[in-house]
Amino acid sequence: MSDNTSPTKGYYERHIFFCLNERPGGEDCCALHGAKAGFDRCKSQVKAAGLAGPGKVRVNKAGCLDRCAAGPVAVVYPEGTWYTFIDNEDIDEIVESHLKNGQIVERLLTPPELGR
Ligand code: FES
């Protein structure tokens, strides 16, 4: 992990946003596909690995990211890498491989054609 003292560096080295959008009336959305469980798992794994905080990693909730057809989705910046995940194993791999070591998890990449 790099330090965050340079003004050209981001406050966080990596930032992951999880869509937790919930639509009324049972309409399809990430919330219906385990988004909150993925967010909670990511948050706890990042903390347990000592990755949380300035100069390191931040895990945030987001509203609809407009890629609902691929949900549940999360996006990692600064790379702008989109993931579609299913279970804890997927989240753990994103944390260990991408958030910790900067290696994209190819098998979980959101298909580029999937949008809303
Ligand atoms: S509901 Fe999650 S991307 Fe739209």
Q: How confident is the model at residue 10 (pLDDT cuts 50, 70, 90)?
A: confident
Determine whether the shortest distance from the Cβ of 65 to ligand 1 is under 6 A. yes
User: Is 75 close to ligand 1, i.e. is its CB under 6 Å away?
Assistant: no
Percent of the chain having pLDDT more than 90?
88
Q: In this predicted model, what pLDDT tens digit does every residue of 72-101 receive, in sequence order? A: 999 999 999 999 999 999 999 999 999 999
73 lines ligand 1 (CB under 6 A): yes
Longest alpha-carbon distance in the chain: 47
> Which string of b and e fits 80-107 if b means at least 16 CB within 10 Å?
ebbbbbeeeebbebbbeebbbeeeebee
C-alpha of 97 from chain center: 12
Q: Are 10 and 56 in contact (CB under 8 A)?
A: no
All domains of the chain in start order, with CATH: 14-108 (3.40.30.10)
Contact of 67 with 78, CB cutoff 8 Å: no
| Tens-digit pLDDT profile for residues 98-116 | 999 999 999 999 999 999 8
Q: What is this structure's pTM?
A: 0.92
Protein residue with its CA nearest to atom 1 in ligand 1: 29
